[in-house]
Structure 1
Amino acid sequence: MNIRIGQGFDVHTFGEGDHVMLGGVRVPHERGIVAHSDGDVVIHALCDAMLGALALGDIGRHFPPSDPQWKDADSLLFLRHCTRLLDGQGGWRVINADITVVCERPKVGPHADAMRERLARELGIDVNAVSVKATTSERMGFTGRGEGIAAMAVCLLGKA
């Protein structure tokens, strides 16, 4: 089997709102995300990992924030596009994905399984091939001060 590994990273600041989207799941929070789309850092990092594995650029190249059609877009649209793009590049697919969310709040743990299930369903893989975990930055930096949220993703692609 041919394999490729990709990694991705995304970050957004908090702003007005009452929830954040993480891994396609609406997570209640006292703040929202400042972003052109829905600002789902989990999906954005995963998309960058998928695109990076095949040297296809980054999410901003495929969905430029300057393009008004992506204003407030559901990031699941980006994930679906990336999945189709991989398949169109010779039948690549995600074998597994490992994602880490970095923030002090909201608490990710109670929502991690729902995120894993949503991402696995979208990717067409077993839920046991998707990991979503979280860490804090020990109150250091912008995430530690509660100014924003970040996510890192690694994925393994394969094709027969």
Structure 2
Amino acid sequence: MSKSIAMLASVLLGLSAMAAPAAAAAPAPAIGDLPKADAADVTEFRRQVDALYRMKEAAFARDDADTIVDRFYTRDSITFGPDGKPVIGRDAFRKEYQGIVRIANVKVEPIATHVGKDAAWEWANFRAFPKDKTQKPFTFIMLFVFAKKDGQWVSGGDAYTVGEFPGSH
């Protein structure tokens, strides 16, 4: 792994990230037998979260850490990676994101989703495409946690590790 990719992986192994599925992609299946939101709430979740992912992807492309931190995450969000070191709150997120947005563009591919009335989680492949074209793309498996506040879905954080869900190309 090159130095810049190692830096991104290292930073993301102490932070997090996201982006958007293809417009024509089918909704991800629900997880388990937990109580689920009704179809209209699930549709609204998908609409809002896909918009958050697209916003995050666009912000990565512009090296815009502030938009990601202020619009995607709650003030008290938490993230961690395989190193087990949590990053907590917007100030810490901002510090991390200011470095990582310069390294890669991203794409989020939802894999499996559970939507409750006011809380949801989503497993996803988080694909990173280094801005240094001599570097190879790589993927994180991510678990995003969402909550509904005043009718809007927002991320309360995430966890990730290097890898990808099988058969998800």
Q: TM-score, normalised on structure 2?
A: 0.30
Taking CA–CA contacts closer than 8 Å with sequence separation of 6 or more, which of the two structures ends up with the larger relative contact order? 1
